Amino acid sequence: MKKVNVIWIVLMACAMTITPMFGQSRAKKNKIIADSKMAKVEFIKTDPLMEGLFEKAYGYAVFPNVGKGGFGIGGAAGNGVVYEQSALVGMAKLSQLSIGFQAGGQAYREVIFFESKKDMERFKDSQLEFAAQVSAVAVTAGASANVKYAEGVMVFTMQKGGLMYEASVGGQQFKFNDL
């Protein structure tokens, strides 16, 4: 009889521990979605020409809060929202590892535009990785005027805060999850 009580208590404790996680997960997703909408507004506010990019792109991913830091070895991570033909289709995780001269930390926003369905599918299949040769354009007024797609993607970043010195080699990886 005691074994049954112990098992029951353990099961109840597990259920009570796991249940709040589901609520937090939904709340976290909602916050990321809200932050992504604000990030989009900030990108367009800084460079009004970006509104056309958001409208014409086949799809895009917005990472509103990417944290980056390092000292010799560095990394970055962030969560974002993915839109296909202006409809919310999923969430994504960004991760980055870099090695080289770097020190400090910073926070920034990132948006990735996809030129076609094929480019979007590559991202959704988690097959898109950025190597050292792919560069992002720092958003300033008019920065998007002459930017072209490279291998089906266009990347823009906007610094939010922090200071980081960097001369490193690394790449970004992405993991897509349907809603």
Q: Are strands 153-178 and 137-138 parallel, antiparallel or unpaired?
A: parallel
pLDDT single digits (tens) 50-68: 999 999 999 999 999 988 8
CB atoms inside a 10 Å sphere around CB 77: 16
**Total-model pTM:** 0.78
Domain-by-domain residue ranges, the chain?
43-178
Residue 84 has pLDDT above 50, yes or no: yes
The residue-averaged pLDDT of 21-30 equals: 71
Amino acid in position 142: G
35 to 10, 40, 153: CA distances (angstroms): 38, 9, 22
